[in-house]
Structure 1
Amino acid sequence: MTTPTTDNTKSKTITLDEPIKRGEIIIDKITLRKPSSGELRGVSLIDLGNMNVVALQQVLPRITAPILTAQDVASLDPADLMDIGMEVAGFLVKKADRMVFQKE
């Protein structure tokens, strides 16, 4: 489930259906920050827009709080990965285009 933060064009908070377990730590919410161009280095924007798992594994550690590792991404529930991927892909769309999409 996605919950917008104060500026929903800059960050989004995702509540995971299946929390991530790291030893004693349980991560049930992840905040995604809109990436800068530098944080997208080495990643195809087309792959990222298509929610390619490898592309997400490269970018998510750069834009998540708490920081997700590639291993964390690989172990995500598919529904959570889809939710996160849709939000990341949404960051790649211009504001005006997002507004048109949201109204439909």
Structure 2
Amino acid sequence: MSIDATLSKPITLDTPVQRGETKITEIQVRKPNAGELRGVQLVPLMNMDVTALQTVLPRVTVPPLLAPEVQRMDAADLVQLGTEVVAFLLPKAARPAESPTE
């Protein structure tokens, strides 16, 4: 079985996202393409700026999170997802050896 290098490992949320009757407990992050980064400055995104993450995460999460869900997200979960986004932006040579996005 091959690992999809464009998807992170599933991330278990500390605080599930409630969407109607459904609780989302696990999220994956897709590798963003240039179009999904439109309107976002990369340096703030690399610094895990909350506003930049709130813009990008709805575009690159599986299942797709809605903007209001990202805004209400537990801070620890936002950091987990943001870490995955940043890892995808690093060149392969700069990624940690055990990066989940390798």
Normalising TM by the smaller chain, what interval? Answer: 0.7 to 0.9
Higher relative contact order (CA 8 A, sep 6+): 2
User: Are residue 11 (structure 1) and residue 13 (structure 2) matched?
Assistant: no
TM-score w.r.t. structure 1 length?
0.85
Q: Provide runs of 4+ in structure 1 moved above 4 Å.
A: none
- Kindly, what percent of the aligned residue pairs are identical? 51
Aligned-CA RMSD value: 1.5
> Matched residue pairs, number?
96
TM-score w.r.t. structure 2 length?
0.86
Structure 2 segments unaligned to the other structure (5+ residues): none
Structure 1 segments unaligned to the other structure (5+ residues): none
Which of the residues 41, 44, 49 maps onto 2:38? Answer: 41
Bigger strand share: 1
Q: Report 1:14-29 matches (<5 A).
A: 14-29=11-26
